[in-house]
Structure 1
Amino acid sequence: MTIELPHGDEASAATALPRPGAVLELLKPVTWFPPMWAFGCGVASQPGPVGARIGVILSGIVLAGPLVCATSQAVNDWFDRHVDAINEPGRPIPSGRVPGRWGLGIACGWTLLSLFVAALIGVWVFVAAALGLALAWAYSAPPLRLKQNGWFGNSACALCYEGLAWVTGAAVMADGALPDWRIFIIAFLYSAGAHGIMTLNDFKSVEGDRRMGIGSLPALLGVERAARVACIFMAIPQIFVVALLTLWGCPVHAIIILLALIAQCLLMPRLLENPRARAPWYNGTGVTLYVLGMLVSAFALRSILAGGA
């Protein structure tokens, strides 16, 4: 399938400039929150004076959201332009508002800008950003195109959006040192849970995924079964977080996260009644509780590492 340009003039489209609003839409600011939040959780989890490193912290937040995450969105939209022509033809590339090969150019330019900013911040930040960008390209671009399989693709996204961003924030606060092993464990657990959140985001594109051979979990398993799998993926890691924080001497934080998890589980049956229609609703309720639990876990880690637990 090919994309038909709105005016049928490919030559003029190749030289036309996209409008700033269309470029901003391509970079999808609404998607920047998860990695920025995870980066903030990483900052909160590592003891140290925030004020003394506020400039680096703000740079890291920009790197996590408007740069690395935005790059992943541009890369995905370029290599998904044929699928989007079916699912969401009004998006910037299939609609022609980002014409010609501008989508690919923006993705490449944002990749280089992200690496440049990461290098200015520090070695560990650069390593994490480079890994995140590599996964972003591997997720969408051939020959790997990890999103062809929902198990692999969702894992790559979840690792970038949650785990890498969290560890990077902690490394910034640790002045470039390797964060404590407990931070890695909690960041990994929340990354595993985010696999389920990624599945919720795939319900809206299931028809196009099936037609184009993209094996998202709703396309592979069916909508109802994929919704159950998403709920399991979100719940089980939080159980481990509760257990670990209790073991490490933070029972109050563990109880708060447990209560948030119970609330999520009470909301899940409503999601399962109609996953496609109610996935946005659950994102605003259950997933909100999930990310608030991340911050509670971050404060627990800070207390543990500071010797206060």
Structure 2
Amino acid sequence: MPAASRPSLATVAELLKPITWFPPMWAFGCGVVASGLPLDGRWGLVLLGVLLAGPLVCATSQAVNDWFDREVDAINEPQRPIPSGRMPGRWGLYVALIWTGLSLLAALPLGDWGFGAAVMGLALAWAYSAPPLRLKRNGWWGNAACALSYEGLAWVTGAAVMAWGTMPHGRSVALALLYSLGAHGIMTLNDFKSIEGDRATGIGSLPVRLGVRGAARAACLTMLLPQAVVVGLLLLWQAPWHAAAVGGLILAQARMMQRFLANPRAQATWYSGFGVPLFVLGMLVSAFALRGLV
């Protein structure tokens, strides 16, 4: 095949968006910490799980999304690999299919739970972007699919891998679900940069459905309220210092949200860079609280 008819490795890497791999890798690590179990004899499985969460399943979701969003990206981000022509023909789809297969193969050593989680994560990735479901056409459903896959599913999988494939403790599952709900708001932050293309192509993101300010308020409430419930649960579980730490992180986020709410379109990227890290830091604090309880 002539070199000009296939993408360069750098273009493939750009399609897979390594910067997006961090959230599920972090959530998987939080699940590992929350399990309270030692790493002895599990290092290989944990490293494989981190690889699966980020460079495989999450990367697959990025390739799938770019392929089925090529018309949207032609409006919003024409410099992306597919609309720019740097990834010619159907190579975007081929990469998505190849990475799906690699993800399934890598999940096999993780046992029934790890493999099942990979299947579910990949199913959500394709359902989010690909017809006929194309969940992203509805901002509520699409963001929920991403948040559950990136945060809750990765957290529970990390805890399950540490427990040799058994179901994690109910407390760990509860925190995973709460942080998934909070991550729904984080997903909304990404939609402010693509309002024109979403509206033109029938993508009902929350900024399109609710307007810029309505979506910004919804995102903030969705991020803050689940964290407040986490604080209440940590107090109930007799972890007051961890509850206080998460509470302090919430207050810092709320203060930063004032700047975001004043101009959501201009400040969404800023808040993603400075406010969201406080959210994910709270995840780790909560995980250590569970570890102490175990």
- Per the shorter chain, which TM-score range? over 0.9
Once residues 286 and 40 of structure 2 are traced to their aligned partners in structure 1, the CA distance between those partners, rounded to angstroms, is: 21
CA distance in 2 between partners of 1:51 and 1:233 (Å): 38
Q: Does 1:105 align with 2:83?
A: no
Shift of residue 52 of structure 1? 2.5
Instruction: Please name the residue that 1:182 is paired with.
Output: 171
Report the counterpart of residue 112 of structure 2 in structure 1.
123
Q: AA paired with 1:73?
A: Q
Question: 2-side partners of 1:261 and 1:58: how far apart?
Answer: 31
Query: How far does residue 51 in structure 1 lie from its aligned partner after superposition?
Result: 3.8
Q: Distance in 2 between matches of 1:226 and 1:145?
A: 20
Contiguous gaps of at least 5 residues in structure 2: none
Q: Select the residue among 154, 159, 177 that pairs with 1:170.
A: 159
Residue identity (%): 66
Report the alpha carbon displacement of residue 61 of structure 1 after superposing the two structures with TM. Answer: 0.3
1:60 to 49, 69, 77: 49
Q: Equivalent residue for 2:103?
A: 114
Q: How many residues align?
A: 294
| Paired position in structure 2 for 1:208 | 197
Code of the aligned partner of 2:260: L
| Of 223, 235, 238, the match for 1:246 | 235
User: Aligned residue for 2:225?
Assistant: 236
Q: Secondary structure of the equivalent of 2:41?
A: helix
1:288 aligns with 2:282: no
Once the 2 structures are TM-superposed, how far is the Cα of residue 12 of structure 1 from its aligned partner? 8.0
1:139 aligns with 2:146: no
Give the corresponding residue for 2:286. 297
Q: Deviations over 1:7-29 (max 9, x none)?
A: xxxx989x811100000000000
Separation in structure 2 between the aligned mates of residue 23 and residue 135 of structure 1, nearest angstrom? 22
Distance across 2 between alignment mates of 1:101 and 1:276: 33
1:32 and 1:221 map into 2 onto residues whose CA distance is 29
Secondary structure of 1:175's match? coil
Show CA shifts across 1:237-258 (max 9, x none): 0010000011011011000000
Q: After superposition, where does 1:260-271 map in structure 2 within 5 Å?
A: 260-271=249-260
Give the 3-state SS of the residue equivalent to 1:263 in structure 2: helix
| Structure 1: distance between partners of 2:62 and 2:142 | 14
SS at match of 1:83: helix
1:286 shift after superposition? 1.4
> What TM-score do you get using the length of structure 1 for normalisation?
0.93
- Partner of residue 26 from structure 2, selected from 15, 21, 37: 37
Report the Cα offset of residue 285 of structure 1.
1.7
TM-score w.r.t. length of structure 2: 0.98
SS of 1:122's partner is helix
SS of 1:99 mapped into structure 2: coil
Offset, 1:162: 0.1
- Distance in structure 1 (CA, Å) of the matches to 2:160 and 2:140: 28
Post-superposition CA distance 1:227-275 (Å, at most 9, x none): 0000000000001000001101101100000010011111111000111
The Cα offsets for residues 102-158 of structure 1, whole Å up to 9 and x where unpaired, read as 100110110111011111221101111100100110000000000000000000000
Runs of 5+ unmatched residues, structure 1? 1-10
Whole-angstrom CA distance in 2 between matches of 1:132 and 1:221 = 28
